[in-house]
Chains A and B, each alone.
Chain A
Amino acid sequence: MSNKMHIKLNVNGEGHEFLAEPRELLIYTLRERLNITGPHIGCETSHCGACTVTINGKSVKACTMFVAQADGADITTIEGLGGPDNMHVLQEAFREHHGLQCGYCTPGMITRASKLLEENPNPTEEEVRFGMAGNICRCTGYQNIVKSILAAASELNAAKEAAE
């Protein structure tokens, strides 16, 4: 059955065009077709959040979206937030506060947290926990993840104030 579609994606500011079967899950498109391997496959059943990316301003689990649905979308992955030479404030905070152990869940955590802080720049601890409830970590017990996100929020707010 040849029902390939012409797909256009904008990922981390870069345009991509290719032919794909509509049934391809977006997480595979990102990882295997575009070699963007920051978003991870954890459970592949929309529970764990390791595959979280930002699609048209929404935090989405990329294992539960067909590439066809994302046709025309703007996507940001962890790679679009920062890398070893230009770390995002959240990445710095996770390093500083030991917000990870094995690191497998971290790209999804940070990508989700970036959207959370965009929507709620000054969250309480409870709001961080509620807003991060779609991401599972099996190492840290979450304490340091929450600490990292709260620290990043303070840092971002301080930077904003300094700029004003």
Chain B
Amino acid sequence: MIPASFDYHRPSDMDGVIALLKEHGDDARVLAGGHSLIPMMKLRMAEVPHLIDLQSIESLRGISINGSRVTIGAMVTQHDIINHSELTKVAPIMRETSLQIADPQVRYMGTVGGNVANGDPGNDMPGLMQCLDATLHLVGPDGTREVAARDYYEAAYVTAREEDEVLTAISFDAPSGGYSYEKQKRKIGDYATAAAAVTIQTSGGKVSSASIAMTNLSDVPVWSEAAADALVGTACDADAIKAAVNAMLDDIDPTEDNRGPVAFKRHVAGIILTRAITRAWDRA
């Protein structure tokens, strides 16, 4: 497979990236791990006259943990997350999710930034970022700005990021209590038929707060406040879980594709969410 021709750039700092984006406008795109963009370029579904490789920008690489505040650079890979023991201690849901993304080889290359920024409804990190109420850090010609993950996704591949902006990091407060990332996929390497990120905090044997988001069941990730509200004040009994699932089913909007018809996806969504809530509750 031979993609369309392009000029390759490998700047060593973000100023260099921004300058290239400014110079080439729509003709330029940044490349992180490449495991979404390169397949699209090979199929000639994406044509990128100027490819800006972020691999030499050290400032995009670190994971820092300051108390409960976690900041992860955009070029941190899923492999890095899986092997970061301190991160796993404070936010084990990051590792649990990363282990369910693609396969080992892809996880060495696949980055948090690419997964979050691209706006692919099939990616796992967007739903997780919404569940965690993460902040996305962007830089562009006019400086830096922050966007809440819950405000970032507008439609498939359409996000709050401007063409000349780059995601540099994500940050979030490590959740307390129980957590779970559950994913149903047809095979290793496939996107989710349905996936759910759940966190649950408890007080006095009842749910005091919860956050629930699902992936690949709409053209954007679905963070459902109503689903979380259905659990608050309950002991996560079967009726409460059913109410949460029903609330989520009202919020998703799956379409038929090679993973199955709409009715099947709704069925799988219910099962996956039930499992995720049950596991998060058990761990809370």
Contact = CB atoms under 8 A, between A and B. Distances in A.
Contacts of A44: 1, 42
A58 B109 contact: yes
Contact of A131 (B39, B104, B109): B104
A64 interface: yes
A47 B189 contact: yes
B1 A64 contact: no
A25 B8 CA distance: 13
B34 A69 contact: yes
A112 interface: yes
A22 to B, nearest CB: 4
B31 interface: yes
A112 B34 contact: no
B34 A49 contact: no
Contacts of B105: 46, 49, 52, 59-61, 112, 134
B6 interface: yes
- Looking at B2, B8, B31, the one whose CB has the most chain A CB atoms below 10 A away is B8
Interface of A: 1, 3, 5, 21-23, 25, 44-47, 49, 52, 58-61, 63-66, 68-69, 71, 112, 116, 130-134
Contact of B103 (A1, A63, A133): A133
B104 A112 contact: yes
Contact of B38 (A47, A65, A116, A131): A65
Given A65-B34, A66-B38, A46 B106 contact: yes
Contacts of B104: 59, 112, 116, 130-134
Nearest to B51: A22
Contact of A21 (B5, B31, B53, B79): B5
B5 A46 contact: no
B206 interface: no
B84 to A, nearest CB: 14
A21 B2 CA distance: 11
- Looking at A46, A52, A59, the one whose CB has the most chain B CB atoms below 10 A away is A46
Contacts of A116: 104
Nearest to B55: A69
B191 to A, nearest CB: 12
Given A23-B4, A47-B189, 5 more contacts: A3-B6, A22-B8, A23-B41, A49-B105, A60-B105
Nearest to A5: B8
A64 B108 contact: no
A68 B188 contact: no
A157 B272 CA distance: 40
12 contacts: A22-B51, A23-B2, A58-B108, A59-B105, A60-B108, A61-B106, A65-B38, A132-B104, A133-B104, A134-B103, A134-B105, A134-B189
B161 interface: no
Contacts of B279: none
Contacts of B51: 22, 66, 68
Contacts of A69: 31, 34, 53, 55
A138 to B, nearest CB: 13
A-B pairs with lowest CB-CB distance, top 7: A134-B103, A22-B8, A58-B108, A68-B8, A134-B105, A133-B188, A134-B104
B233 to A, nearest CB: 39
